[in-house]
Structure 1
Amino acid sequence: MQEHVESVPILLPHPAAQRYIGDKVRQAERLRERARRLEAEFCNAVAVALPSTSATAGKTSRVETSELGRNLNPGAYTPDRRAVRAAIRGAGGRSLDTFAGVESPTTDSYIRTTAYLGLDAIDSATCRLKPSTAEAEAVVGTARLLREGPALSRLRPYLNKVTYIPPSLAGGIGSTELLLVRPKAGVNGWFLYGVLKLESSVRQLNPVANGSTHPRVNREDVLDLLVPWRDDHEALGAKLQTAQTCYFASSALTATATALVERLIDGRITEADVVVAQKALDGGDRSADREILMALRRSDAPDGKLIISDIDILYPLLDESEDNDA
């Protein structure tokens, strides 16, 4: 009830301390906005005009023998899938198997703190990730051994659980539903992630998914995908790489704001320290801010990880974000 909310006691520190904490939240939102902008720029650059689903309705169609490929699943020849593939082919698209392979390595050797990537941690619309740990997700038995590069879920392709495994998660584990896409020499992995995430890829995978309650795609279905191709794939892929870095930094800054309030309440950091850091920032000096951020950990456990693992990556991102907003 309203009166319950109004009766909750809150911390009200010095205005400079409030601004210091509030700025972390504002910086987080600027980074999220930059990430979304970069993703939109990528999609606009590789966009292929696709027919509407209403114009290609139907489950079956008549095909010529010459159109048959290695996939004889009837779903591979629905009117919508054929129309989507024709559009991509007409725009110079290529088959995924010409510049990538698909792998599914597994492992049962991991410890409780090993990074874990479940399907719920993958955003369906962006390259944002929320990894956890084997202990937190109660993982037992065989798991997918993660390697850097694009990955997508075999399960329910309409959910569009496609992501890029960054170097920080390589060597960790994930859901066995994940398939890892390995770019061939000279092909940018981030670009491959981006085209796998497109609506055109989803519309090709949906019809070929097998299973009544848990529809899945297999390795051959993925390799058979037609995807847009661009000669400037390196530059386009770099946009998405920066976007994911912005998402990670944004999440860290949001967690930082919460941690700062908690530490002010329990006395592990003083209001005076925060005020000094804010006044220094007003003068262009980040040394006190750096000292505070480098001391914040996600938990009080002996092996608690830093909330912001690399300050030297964060500050350039913030500067670039401010320049873009200027």
Structure 2
Amino acid sequence: MLFAKGGMYRHCAVVPKAVIEANISQDVIGAEPSERLDSYYAIAFLQSKYGRPQLVRWEQGNAQPHLSNDGVKGVLFPLPHSTDAQRYIGDKIRQAERLRELTRILDEKANAALAELLGETDESWVAGAGTTGVFASGGFRTRVGAGRIRGRLDPSGYHPELTAISKRATKSRNFVTLLEMADLVTDKRAKTSSESALGAYISVLHVLQAGYVDMVAASRYQPESDGRLCNPGDILLSGINPVANRVGVCPIRSGQVACSPEFSILRARSGVDPHYLAFALRSQVCLRQLLHLAQGTSSSRRRLDEAELPALWVPISPEQQRIGEWMSTRQRCTAASYTLTIAARLLVEGLIDGHVAEADLITAQKALEAGDRSVDRGILQCLREGDALGAEPVIPDVDSLYELLDESEEIAV
């Protein structure tokens, strides 16, 4: 088990089995649990409302609070009478870990398919486009003919790298403009106010690594600004700070979903897979174009003018449907890994509060070992975040979760 010494979030984790050997920095505490304690169950407890206060309790220092080795030793763990109950809860974290491994494999397959299309990695393709006119200091010189002048006069919009990518893409049959793959529908979507009753509001910060859209956080978010309605399958491209590379696909969600006005909303044209297009837009080929097309003096507040997007060059693959399926599965795996972690935390809290019977967890674990998921299904379907009337289940589609777990199990074998 690993504990971060500093930081307000009090991170803790288990070293995955896939890691054969690794070093830890001086800012991390390593701990080996006793045989009586399932390390994954312990992590679920430490994320609970009973575990986190203990980590806070043992912190030292005011300006920069930190956790010490003695503090970790002082953490108390509640132990169920049976190891089967621990294993049942711990397995939820193990399953989440397995799904994260599947997302890594799917990322590798998608990137390999793009590299096969380009004949090299996307980073190498961009480098091969040339950087004539770019100085080692980062500055550049460029010459722009009158015919290339458009509605901007800032130098970044005519960066030599942008010109080089455009020239190389024009000569390749593997590239088309974004306008040929998607329609810009931002202005066609109805506006919403900050007080609108919504099923979810997607802010820029809800689009995480590799395009995952955190709908759990989006459903809890109370927006302070107006937004626009978006539909499942819409591609959301953040126009602020493009270096963050926030491009995702709006998932299916009950109730109306709106997004921040910082997003450009794209709708994939017939025959174009939205998950593939979002993946392609996150590639280095597109990211480098977006970086130069943005305007503004502050690197963190640079913005894209939506009018620049139609001419963006995007790689188009004959395998786009397959890549799109990989990316769709990837996002579902990421969502399921988050919900499994939440489920483990709720099970620990329910066990301590008396809302969950240890005997039920033991029965579920033994049934799972015998290949019977019926008891586990019943437990998962009953889990709710909070006691509010009408609270949605943490895992709304257990069958879909089982499908992903079976797929991850096959890859693990």
What is the TM-score normalised by the length of structure 1? Answer: 0.91
Q: State the 1:232 CA deviation.
A: 2.3
Shift of 1:69: 6.8
Matches within 5 A, 1:207-226: 207-213=292-298, 214-226=301-313
C-alpha distance in 2, partners of 1:51/1:42?
Answer: 20
Q: Which has the higher contact order (CA 8 A, sep 6+)?
A: 1
Task: Give the residue type in structure 2 aligned to 1:146.
Answer: C
In the alignment, what sits opposite 1:228?
315
Structural RMSD (CA): 2.3
Alignment of 1:195-214 (within 5 A): 195-213=280-298, 214=301
Counterpart check, 1:194 vs 2:279: yes
TM-superposed deviation, 1:248: 0.7
Aligned to 2:261: 176
Shift of residue 141 of structure 1?
Answer: 4.6
Tell me the CA shift for residue 187 of structure 1: 1.5
Counterpart in 2 of 1:290?
377
Distance, in Å, in 2 between the alignment partners of 1:266 and 1:94 is 58
Which residue is equivalent to 2:180? 98
The CA deviation at 1:169 is 6.9
Which secondary structure does the structure 2 equivalent of 1:168 belong to? coil
Give the greater-gyration-radius structure (CA): 2
Aligned equivalent of 1:75:
156
Match of 1:38 among 106, 116, 121: 106
Q: Distance in 2 between matches of 1:53 and 1:120?
A: 32
Q: How far, CA to CA, are the matches of 1:153 and 1:169 in structure 2? A: 23
C-alpha displacement of 1:53: 9.8
Deviates more, 1:54-63 or 1:210-219: 54-63
Note the alpha carbon deviations across 1:225-276, whole angstroms, 9 max, x for none: 1010112211211110111111111111111111111010001111111011
Partner of residue 199, structure 2? 114
Superposed displacement of residue 113, structure 1: 5.8
Q: Is the 8 A contact 2:268 2:277 kept in 1?
A: yes
Which stretches in structure 2 are left out of the alignment for 5+ residues? 1-67, 119-124
Selected match of 2:398 from 299, 302, 311: 311
- The TM-score, its normalising length taken from structure 2, stands at 0.73
In structure 1, how many angstroms separate the alpha carbons of the residues matched to 2:171 and 2:130? 21
Q: Deviations over 1:126-171 (max 9, x none)?
A: 1322235678433245212122221111111111111111122783
- Provide the secondary structure at the position in 1 that maps to 2:253: helix
Equivalent AA in structure 1 for residue 213 of structure 2: L
**Residues 170 and 138 (structure 1), Cα distance of their counterparts in 2 relative to 1, 3 Å cut:** closer
Contact 2:201-2:222 within 8 A present in 1 as well = no
Range with greater deviation from structure 2 (31-40 or 268-277):
31-40
What's the counterpart of residue 143 of structure 1? 227
Deviations 1:152-200 (A, max 9, x none): 1111111111111112278312211011111112211111111111111
Q: Does the Cα contact within 8 Å between 2:245 and 2:282 map onto a contact in 1? A: yes
* Identity score, percent: 34
- Secondary structure in 1 matching 2:341: helix
- In the alignment, what sits opposite 2:169? 88
Gap change, CA 1:166 and 1:31, over 3 Å in 2: same
Q: Aligned pairs, how many?
A: 324
Q: 1:194 to 1:226 in 2, by over 3 A?
A: same
Correspondence for 1:128 among 209, 212, 218: 212
